[in-house]
Amino acid sequence: MTSCQIDRSATVPALSLDDERAVDRIVQAMSRARRLLFITGAGMSADSGLPTYRGRDGIYRAQQTTPHGFSIEQALSGPMLRTRPEITWHYLLELEKTSRHAAPNRGHYVLAEMDGYFDAVWVLTQNVDGLHQRAGSRNVLDVHGSLHALECMRCGQQTTTPDYSKLTLPPRCSECEGPIRPQVVLFEEELPYDKFSRLWYEFGAGFDLIFSIGTSSMFEYIVEPVRVGRQMGITTVEINPETTTISSEVDIKIGAGAATVLASIWERYLTW
């Protein structure tokens, strides 16, 4: 099976009758669509064995105060990385360990396969696990960066690493002994202007469907594309087992897991 193919022999958990009807509505809209936008959060990777962050039993919710006496937002912040890198790297290592042996799930592969069926499929993801890219999606805006891309904070040397197992923490640059950081957006740091600029450029070209998948939708920059899209008359969909800030605002809401729903949507679309 190639990276963009789906194992269609796998058993897909049954959806509720309401969710089945919602899938039909989505497939009908997709049959007329040429450009799709998917906004994904940690729930997208849940079926790959990765924990969610702020959802039910999420790692941020379960660990309100870290053993170091800081909130997780403080520990994983830009200021903490600059002043106490050993603390930030302790929690970066925890995040990396959760994804070390993860592989793309059926949901990731569905989005990748869609590239060949529509004029444009864009993925705006909060995830730093790189699973969308590994599944084969071409147009990925990873607005929080990647845990596997490293950069020296002194000389700027950039490297990649498959995992952190061989790093001495906090790591130092092999060229100048400066401190190294992953190319991710930490708390209290600015989001990448170029990636959001590209997102709104693509909005100018138009989208026919906008999906919000597996994100708690707590940040305005994640919510805004959904709200703007609906104001423009674009059909909006949320796929999330939990109720979020946008659940009452989207056109179609499915309260089930991402991989299950996306597999059902895609199988039905291919036989439409």
Per-residue confidence (pLDDT) for residue 51, from 0 to 100: 78
**For residue 63, is it within any domain?**
yes
Burial class (CB in 10 A: 0-12, 13-18, 19+), 241: middle
* Same domain, residue pair 140 and 177: no
* Same domain, residue pair 221 and 266: yes
Which residue range(s) make up the domain with 72?
59-100+148-184
Sheet (strand 180-184) strand order: 158-160, 145-152, 180-184
Interval 251-262: pLDDT, tens: 999 999 999 999
**For residue 54, is it within any domain?**
no
Interval 42-94: pLDDT, tens: 999 999 998 776 555 555 555 567 788 898 899 999 999 999 999 999 999 98
Domain count, the chain: 2
* Same domain, residue pair 89 and 217: no
* Same domain, residue pair 211 and 116: yes
Sites in the chain below the pLDDT cut of 50: 1-12
What span, in angstroms and rounded, lies between the C-alpha atoms of 76 and 87?
Answer: 8
**For residue 71, is it within any domain?**
yes
**For residue 6, is it within any domain?**
no
Active-site residue among 90, 101, 132, 144? 144
**For residue 22, is it within any domain?**
yes
Is 68 one of the annotated active-site residues of the chain? no
> Which of 228, 35, 200, 50 lies closest to 132, judged by CA?
50
* Same domain, residue pair 118 and 243: yes
Q: Which residue in this structure is represented by tokens 């039905």?
A: 268
* Same domain, residue pair 110 and 94: no
* Same domain, residue pair 24 and 91: no
CATH of the domain at 262: 3.40.50.1220
**Coil/strand/helix, residue 79:** helix
